[in-house]
Structure 1
């Protein structure tokens, strides 16, 4: 709420009358609508050297920022091939580097495969082990994790680990599949925004350098010319029988664990799309702290709670665990969708 009232321009759009709009109110942003119309006509040059670009640079200078017109002109969109990972007979298309999310989800899937080979059931305890192992891999291998996965370097390490005794914001996602089976999985985020409207164009710049997971050294330590990584993980699953599933979620560092669990529910437990999305989730932080929703087996919950200060049992499903919005098309044309109730998601077939 403070960001939505941080300046007169922002408050005019998001908090008319000085308070954020209540649930059920109709939101209108005529300035943004006009900006989008101009964008459709002028394309990227509107932001590179047009009126919007000039307003962005002016705001940055006024607020003591470092963004220049040359920065905008030098920006190039990078088109990258997905990071593909095979799991349970399906090809899972993930967000590639420099985004960290795809490699972390692939590592989690690979670790679960190693657990299955070692005779472990893919239950909540296995998910916890996979999340802990993924946290460790991220700390150990960093940006090199995807390359080491692709090269098979970590396979032996994971198989050995799997044989050990078991032990203990603002992102939006849309998944679409059309009648021809074309699938799109789109995640986007502006963070909370920077609290100031750009000119009279109806939008705020993002505040992603304040995301500790992405800018670990602090917002003033970002290196010039370096692309910002992301925890967003738009995902598409291609199964051998022709089934196509598009999914994704918001949720900061819980994004990868939410996607991992829904993918396992679909591919390893053969759940319906709705059941896979609504099933109870857990999340393990880097320090080993575990959070979990109700609905897990009582014995599992008891073991988690034995961790005392490192365990948090949520009383009900919560948006903390992400909001996975998914759609799936079967080989014969049947389409289904599931919006995550944790984030008031909706599904629509038209």
Structure 2
């Protein structure tokens, strides 16, 4: 969804893209009120947490990649952390029997829900840091549109309606959660009006008091007490000691584009960079369709194998990424591609203004814990319950340690002065969705709109999934083929 503004003074030009039109318009509203792309991006992130409530929340976290007008860039990491500070060893592991569900999404997604899956959320402190370092306005102004949407109501958009249906079992986990997301005996559907008055009150209080209300005040104590009561391990100390981290983003070049993306300890950006390095040796634009898919799907499959097996320790992920994104390793991967393979829990938004400030934010609450903190309207994440975020196993990290993510907010610039800010939801499909969009722009010369709307495919393990209209893969290379007759959020946003 895109909201654009143009005026006779080019410095007032602005563009925003988000998962719902409400969030894009929230960004435009805050820009009109005197903000810049950073203020607008936080406003959109807050509005998304209301209008895509199962994909983003102040009970979750994310990453903000900021490319300044002078061309410099930084990554604000406000992703979830492992909780449990001050608790005995016996508190970890949920008694060995965490509550597991299988979501009917794609080829099926296994997820752990409930209190034991809730990690330390970083959204509010992350938004405050983005505003403090790059914005013109404060948290109160940025949260204004989201508060109004939560209080006055909005009509549920298509993607949220789809996810409500996918998650309907999880949304019955508690009476409080059911009260928020069910209309009678069923979940809310696309086009129906929905309100979150308690969440509006919470956001208004945070806007007036600042993020410390959530991390060190009464609100944080209420959140921690509820999670602990639901057999979770989120303590008041976890919240009080949580801090966003400013990191140097990963720099990657492909064709005419110089890009910044989310680097270690996260794995999404390095996985994207690994795929781009592998495919950079081929003239993709002139390849026949079947050969093109072989190269792209091979790069996806092999990089995602490494994503699952190599990025196990956040402190070592920088060294791992340097090896896996190097040319020597890429040569090995290219040989493997042609030798044969062998047998919205997340959301994204981007804002760019005419001064050259670009902000790309990917946010997530996992697939959702099924918990809403009573009296607050805050849905809580289940990031500890997502296997790909916890390659060492359930509750295996040390308290305070950052989870490993596939989120890859990216900003690309060219020598001609063009800027593209992009990213995607989709777990392991995030890097592959961004890969295809970037190749469409940089190799095939598509416009941004054409590149985003083009049919996509995804290769992982023995699975090849594809949208109608995309090139087909050699069926002998995959054990499972999953066709989609129309565009689907399984392939990203």
Secondary structure, aligned partner of 2:258: strand
Determine whether 1:210 maps to 2:391.
Answer: no
Matches within 5 A, 1:132-281: 132-138=301-307, 141-142=310-311, 146-147=318-319, 150=322, 154-162=326-334, 166=338, 167=340, 169-281=344-456
In structure 2, which of residues 295, 310, 313 is the aligned counterpart of residue 126 of structure 1?
295
Q: How many residues align?
A: 317
Determine whether 1:291 maps to 2:465.
Answer: yes
Q: CA deviation at 1:312?
A: 2.7
Looking at structure 2, the residues matched to 235 and 52 of structure 1 have their Cα atoms a distance apart, in angstroms, of 33
Looking at structure 2, the residues matched to 257 and 185 of structure 1 have their Cα atoms a distance apart, in angstroms, of 17
Is contact 1:115-1:162 (8 Å) kept? no
CA RMSD for the aligned pairs? 2.5
Is contact 2:294-2:474 (8 Å) kept? no
Gaps of 5+ in 1: 324-350
Deviations along 1:223-263, one digit per CA (max 9) or x if unpaired, are 32211121111111111111101111111111110011101
Looking at structure 1, the residues matched to 261 and 306 of structure 2 have their Cα atoms a distance apart, in angstroms, of 18
Q: After the TM superposition, which of the residue ranges 44-53 and 6-15 deviates more from structure 2?
A: 6-15
Secondary structure, aligned partner of 2:298: helix
Looking at structure 2, the residues matched to 305 and 102 of structure 1 have their Cα atoms a distance apart, in angstroms, of 29
TM-score (norm 1): 0.82
Q: CA deviation at 1:178?
A: 2.1
Change (3 A) 1:275 1:217: same
TM-score (norm 2): 0.60
Change (3 A) 1:61 1:164: closer
Secondary structure, aligned partner of 1:123: helix
Matches within 5 A, 1:3-152: 3-116=170-283, 123-138=292-307, 141-142=310-311, 146-147=318-319, 150=322
Looking at structure 2, the residues matched to 241 and 316 of structure 1 have their Cα atoms a distance apart, in angstroms, of 35
Q: Which consecutive segments of 4 or more residues in structure 1 shift more than 6 A? A: 119-122
Secondary structure, aligned partner of 1:64: coil
Looking at structure 1, the residues matched to 225 and 474 of structure 2 have their Cα atoms a distance apart, in angstroms, of 52
Deviations along 1:292-330, one digit per CA (max 9) or x if unpaired, are 222234xxx2x522346333333333221111xxxxxxx
Looking at structure 2, the residues matched to 291 and 215 of structure 1 have their Cα atoms a distance apart, in angstroms, of 24
Change (3 A) 1:258 1:16: same
Secondary structure, aligned partner of 2:301: helix
Determine whether 1:318 maps to 2:493.
Answer: no
Change (3 A) 1:152 1:189: closer
Is contact 1:175-1:186 (8 Å) kept? yes
Partner residue of 1:305? 475
Looking at structure 2, the residues matched to 153 and 296 of structure 1 have their Cα atoms a distance apart, in angstroms, of 27
